[in-house]
């Protein structure tokens, strides 16, 4: 046994032997790298493109500049310097690139926060100025009447927020809607007609009175007529310039001393929304659960509301949601609570009509708005065109809605009905132009079991499908309009935030 151990010990290589093997292996590898590198350099140096560039261009220029022949560039020097530069750039990117990306991202986030703060302070300053001016008016007759006008084509939450802000400056908001004829003359054909735009404005809870058929450009005579008939104290418009044929649309109002500007809701416009339909991508979507409701078990829960792209630049804040939810009260025990859910994408006259019909069936209407993941799963393509928060604000701005369930579950369970004290669940007889991938029997199974499901006749045939059809029919027109308006809006915001980027004019 002892002899076997001694023999095996002698057979084991010593440390010196292993070291020599390692050194030889390393030398062989280095030699291979050097030989291959040399072969690669020789191959590149002798190639026709390199010879042509060095001898026919670089050296010709150097010779003309007076460089001696012995100092002219060789093909091998050209190849070596090129690869040295490439390797340096790669190493720099690996070592420092990631750090720069993180810094740029942080700077972009800081800039967004700064812009939001500027917008908030501008709004606060406007409110304070108008409050000082309004104290005297209230003392005189106890009422301040505000007038706003516009085309309000494809009305969105940006328009609604303007109405909210305008309404907060007084006690009564009158909104004028530009006629089709005047809009066509000054801006081109609108996507929605007079009646459709009238329905949308009348359906907004911040609007007290509507004046149809207003001209796009108000002359002094028409302004005097509006001020006298509707007893207007102030004419309000956003802080972006409104110029037609080189003339300020609100020149007459400014001359009368009754004009007041308000901060524009940033990150959304009719131009932006048309752009989403033309681009047909999903950059405006938010991450979210594929089944709706909260998803606390997800490892990415902290990032579920991170913006996936830059197509939608609007940042929803809890403050904005609170402002739109002002006055919302919980239903009392004796109220009949009605529930209706859906995508409510591109909030349109068909939505207003069905919500009005649903509200008539009870005392309190709760609207469930599905998350982006659910809507895209059921409808496909790049839908929804408006992300979850944008759609929630649009629904909250409707006068027939009492409360909104954000990221509503696709299947309505007994727990949902019990928690929200739902008396009846309704849905319209018409879809919004897109068929869902799952059947109504599946998603309304528990509601049927509880005997609370009711199908109501859709009072309007207007749908998202119709909007998309109109865009497609006039794609060239809207593409041109989108590019022109997009350039104007970009210039407006660049000028507005020039100080944030360190620009000086």
- Which top CATH class is 270-469? alpha beta
pLDDT, average across residues 485-505:
54
468/447: higher pLDDT: 447
pLDDT at position 399 is 97
305, 287 contact by CB (below 8 A)? yes
Q: How far apart are CA 196 and CA 462, in angstroms?
A: 9
**CATH annotation of 143-262:** 3.40.50.620
CA dihedral 398, 401, 407, 408 (to 10 degrees): -140
pLDDT band at 254 (very low <50, low <70, confident <90, very high): confident
432, 343 contact by CB (below 8 A)? yes
What are the sequence ranges of the domains in the chain? 46-140, 143-262, 270-469, 474-501
pLDDT, average across residues 102-119:
73
pLDDT at position 17 is 59
Exposed/middle/buried for residue 468 (C-beta within 10 Å: 0-12, 13-18, 19+): middle
pLDDT at position 294 is 44
- Mean residue pLDDT across the chain: 79
Res. 453: pLDDT tops 50:
yes
Cβ atoms < 10 Å from Cβ of 235: 25
pLDDT, average across residues 99-107:
76
b/e per residue, 343-360, with b = 16+ CB within 10 A? bbbbbbbbbbbbbbbbbe
Instruction: List pLDDT tens digits, range 46-59.
Output: 888 888 888 888 88
CA distances from 457 to 90, 176, 195, 202, 238 (A): 65, 31, 21, 22, 39
Q: How far apart are CA 83 and CA 39, in angstroms?
A: 14
pLDDT at position 23 is 57
Overall pTM > 0.75? no
Instruction: List pLDDT tens digits, range 357-386.
Output: 999 999 999 999 999 999 999 988 888 999
pLDDT band at 306 (very low <50, low <70, confident <90, very high): very low
């Amino acid at each position: 046994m002892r002899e076997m151990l001694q023999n095996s010990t002698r057979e084991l290589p010593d440390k010196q032997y292993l070291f020599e093997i390692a050194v030889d292996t390393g030398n062989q590898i280095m030699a291979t790298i050097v030989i291959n590198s040399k072969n690669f350099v020789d191959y590149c140096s002798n190639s026709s493109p390199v010879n042509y560039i060095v001898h026919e261009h670089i050296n010709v220029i150097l010779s003309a500049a007076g460089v001696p022949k012995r100092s002219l560039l060789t093909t091998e020097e050209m190849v070596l310097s090129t690869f040295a530069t490439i390797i340096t750039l790669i190493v720099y990117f690996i070592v420092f690139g990631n750090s720069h990306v993180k810094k740029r991202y942080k700077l972009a986030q800081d800039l967004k926060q700064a812009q939001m703060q500027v917008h908030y302070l501008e709004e606060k300053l406007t409110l304070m100025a108008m409050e000082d001016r309004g104290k005297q008016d209230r003392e005189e007759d106890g009422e301040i009447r505000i007038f706003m006008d516009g085309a309000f084509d494809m009305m969105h939450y940006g328009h609604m927020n303007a109405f909210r802000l305008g309404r907060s400056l007084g006690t009564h908001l009158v909104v004028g809607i530009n006629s089709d004829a005047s809009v066509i003359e000054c801006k081109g054909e609108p996507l929605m007609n007079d009646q459709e735009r009238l329905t949308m404005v009348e359906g907004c809870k911040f609007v007290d009175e509507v004046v149809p058929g207003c001209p796009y450009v108000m002359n002094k005579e028409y302004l005097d007529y509006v001020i006298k008939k509707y007893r207007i104290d102030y004419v309000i418009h956003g802080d972006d310039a409104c110029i037609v044929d080189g003339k300020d649309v609100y020149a007459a109002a400014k001359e009368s001393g009754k004009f007041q500007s308000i901060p524009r809701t940033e990150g959304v416009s009719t131009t932006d929304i048309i752009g989403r339909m033309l681009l047909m991508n999903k950059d405006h979507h938010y991450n979210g659960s594929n089944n709706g409701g909260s998803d606390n078990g997800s490892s990415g829960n902290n990032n579920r509301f991170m913006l996936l792209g830059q197509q939608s630049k609007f940042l929803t804040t809890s403050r904005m949601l609170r402002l739109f939810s002002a006055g919302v009260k919980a239903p009392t025990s004796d109220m009949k609570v009605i529930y209706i859910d859906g995508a409510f994408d591109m909030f349109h006259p068909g939505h207003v009509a069905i919500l009005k019909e649903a509200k008539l069936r009870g005392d309190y209407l709760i609207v469930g708005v599905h998350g982006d993941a659910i809507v895209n799963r059921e409808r496909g393509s790049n839908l929804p065109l408006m992300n979850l928060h944008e759609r929630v604000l649009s629904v909250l701005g409707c006068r027939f809605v009492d409360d909104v369930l954000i990221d509503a579950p696709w299947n309505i369970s007994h727990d949902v009905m019990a928690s929200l004290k739902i008396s009846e669940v309704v849905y319209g007889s018409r879809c919004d132009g897109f068929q869902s991938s799952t059947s109504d029997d599946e998603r309304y199974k528990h509601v049927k079991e509880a005997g609370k499901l009711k199908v109501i006749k859709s009072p309007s045939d207007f749908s998202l499908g119709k909007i998309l059809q109109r865009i497609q029919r006039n794609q060239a027109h809207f593409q041109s309009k989108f590019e022109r308006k997009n350039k104007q809006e970009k210039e407006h915001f660049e000028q507005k935030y020039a100080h944030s980027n360190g620009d000086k004019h």
